[in-house]
Amino acid sequence: MSADDQPEPDAPAGGEESDLSAKLFGRWEIAEIEYNDPSTKRYISVTPVAHTAGRHASKQFQKSEISIVERFINRLMQTEENTGKKQQTLNLVREAFELIYERTDENPIQILVTAVENAAPREETVRLKYGGISVPKAVDVAPQRRVDQALKFLAEGVQSASFKSPTSAEEAIANQLVGAAEGDVGTYAVGQKEEKERVAAAAR
Is 13 in contact with 94 (CB distance < 8 Å)? no
Question: Residue 190: what pLDDT?
Answer: 95
* Residue 123 CB neighbour total at 10 angstroms: 17
Q: How would residue 17 be classed by pLDDT, with cut points 50, 70 and 90?
A: very low
Lowest mean pLDDT among 45-49, 50-54, 94-98, 191-195: 50-54
Residue, of 11 and 127, whose pLDDT is higher? 127
d(CA 123, CA 170): 31
Statement: residue 8 has pLDDT above 50? no
Per-residue pLDDT reduced to its tens digit, 154-173: 999 998 888 887 889 899 99
Question: Residue 11: what pLDDT?
Answer: 40
Give counts: helices (H), strands (E), the chain.
8, 4
> Span 23-202: which CATH code?
1.10.455.10
* Residue 2 CB neighbour total at 10 angstroms: 5
**Domain-by-domain residue ranges, the chain?**
23-202
Question: Residue 56: what pLDDT?
Answer: 64
Whole-number percent of the chain with pLDDT over 70:
84
- 100 three-state secondary structure: helix
Per-residue pLDDT reduced to its tens digit, 173-189: 999 999 999 999 999 99
d(CA 104, CA 48): 21
Statement: residue 112 has pLDDT above 90? yes
Q: What's the whole-number mean pLDDT along residues 138-158?
A: 93
